[in-house]
Structure 1
Amino acid sequence: MASGMCGSILVTGSNRGIGLELVRQMAESPSPPSQIFAGCRNPDGPNAKDLKELAQRHQKLITIVCLDTSSESSVREAAKQVGSRLNNGALNLLINNAGINVPGTLSESGQKEMVDVFVTNTVGPMLVSKEFLPYLKKAAAQLGSQEMSCRKSAVINISTLLSSIEKCHTNFAFAPMYPYRVSKAAVNMLTRCLAEDLKSDGILVTAIHPGWVQTDMGGSQAPLPAEDSVKGMLKVFANLTEKDAGNLLDWEGNPIPW
């Protein structure tokens, strides 16, 4: 469960898979956060059914927000909506989870595939971090004496082992996905840039690999249930400190080389 998590939290891409499980476990924790904002591209669509049912069970805790990370106007509007509902105008934790993948061997990948995946997986987290930054800064200022942590003010970018340039030769044949790999390698650089840019504000920025998870994206052959992945990640989140800023860790807290 979400031990050590508190304050206000935003999760993007929360209508299914890892995002939905993050919201569920945090909401059902014995010590839940004070607010959970669940970003979803189409809250009224069929893919949001499970999220809406979860929010109905936790009406005082979960707020569903229309948030399409591939649309700059959608991100701006979501930031306004969330900002108007935040306790004291402060957001303690932003989890940039929304992401897509497409069949992406070299022969299958063209400009459209590369750009579409990059916009959602890389530009999206940058836009969300930018628009929600005033609320993250406010949280950091309110808890200025505390060390960097997810309880104070933090951005978590969901990345992947497949983003590692150093590890590419060990797993490329298994997953030759050009758009996904390239976009997530860029997420790692985004994480490093944000970590450097925001450290003076006391905001922690870290990237996390959730494992190969049994989701629509991960597929049925994946060895790791979403419940176990999220349980592990939440433990990692609760123990992150300044030493983890700008790094890529896996769901058990182990470092992954760039």
Structure 2
Amino acid sequence: MSKFPAPFLGFRAPALILAANSEHCLHSWFGNAGARPASPSLSIQARCCRLHGQTLRVSPEIPSTLFTDAVNPASIEEATRRVEEQLDGSGLNLVINNAGIFSDVSLATVDSEEMLGAYKTNVVGPMLVGQAFLPLLKKAAQGSSQKGLSCSKAAIVNISTVLGSIERVPETFSNPAISYRCSKAALNMLTQCQALSYAEDGILCAAVHPGWVQTDMGTQEADLPVDESVRGILTVLPTLSEKHSGSFWSWAGKTIPW
């Protein structure tokens, strides 16, 4: 059950979530989905963008919320600068790329503009964000006493979808969503490339399918309440380790084939 009134029921999650200084930090990201922050001292920056003219409201319980355009290099650079200031010499433990756009288009109706727009938001944005925050993630990893890789040490988590699984296309193609599924398949490739590239820096990278969730994108016809998806992800992320970097997981803790 949501703690917040109806205006929060639309676009409920920020496009980019950054967390530092606690292995329980994810609770603050999910504050507007019914989970209370674990500690008022957490350093949390939730990066949000305005989509299609909508004004996003944010929970006052999230310690620090800043707004940025998750596909604009200059905006991301400014966000990085402001985050670095707030961290005051510390590193950044976790980046969750949650930005995404969806259009219900088929091969008969999709056009180049639609494909390029989806690719820019769903793939290029997360790539730029990873590049921009890499120095802060490296700093967190270098300053950690933990061995191996984990989300509490330093990690990039890309929110993907089972529709991006090439192996699962036959069973999911009842909803073609061509631009969405193709761009998310590319995001999965990006995740693998990030995992291999950043492993030597001590940074874990993984993709997570949150399920078909009751949000603006998923609509209220979706079969998974936000709270249930949140609880699942909160359970999965702390279990990820070095052997899981570069993998694709569902909110329920099951691996998904590429």
Please give the alpha-carbon distance, in whole angstroms, between the structure 1 residues aligned to 2:113 and 2:103. Answer: 11
Name structure 1 gaps, 5 residues minimum: 1-14
Q: Percentage identity across aligned positions?
A: 42
SS, match of residue 89 in structure 2? helix
Single out whichever of 78-87 and 113-122 deviates more from structure 2. Answer: 78-87
The alpha-carbon distance between structure 1 residues 177 and 46, as it changes in their structure 2 partners (threshold 3 A), is closer
What is the TM-score of this pair, normalised by structure 2? 0.85
What are the Cα deviations for residues 204-223 of structure 1, in whole angstroms up to 9, with x where unaligned? 00000000100000011111
Quick one: distance in 1 between partners of 2:67 and 2:114? Answer: 24
Aligned residue number for residue 252 of structure 1: 252
Report matched runs for 1:1-258 at 5 Å. Answer: 16-19=11-14, 22-24=29-31, 28-31=36-39, 34-42=42-50, 47-49=55-57, 51=58, 54-55=59-60, 58=61, 62-173=63-174, 175-258=175-258
Counterparts in 2 of 1:18 and 1:46: CA distance versus 1, 3 Å: closer
Rounded Cα–Cα distance in structure 2 between residues aligned with 1:109 and 1:75: 29
Which is worse superposed, 179-188 or 77-86?
77-86
Higher fraction of helix: 1
**Contact 1:16-1:47 at 8 Å conserved across structures:** no
SS of match in other structure, 1:89: coil
Q: Secondary structure at the match of 1:115?
A: helix
Question: Retained in 2: the 8 A contact 1:23–1:36?
Answer: no
Counterpart CA distance in 1 for 2:160 and 2:219 is 17
In the alignment, structure 2 segments of 5+ residues that lack a partner are 1-9, 16-27
Give me the CA root mean square deviation. 2.1
SS, match of residue 221 in structure 2: coil
Distance 1:168 1:179 in 2: 14
Shift of 1:196: 0.2
> Deviation of residue 63 (structure 1)?
1.3
Q: 1:46/1:169 Cα in 2 relative to 1: closer, same or farther (>3 Å)? A: closer
Report the residue type matching 1:120 in the other structure: T
Letter aligned with residue 49 of structure 2:
R
CA deviations on 1:156-180 (whole Å, 9 max, x unpaired) are 000000000000011102x111100
> Scaled by the length of structure 1, what TM-score is found?
0.85
For residues 194 and 34 of structure 2, what CA distance do their matches in structure 1 show? 25
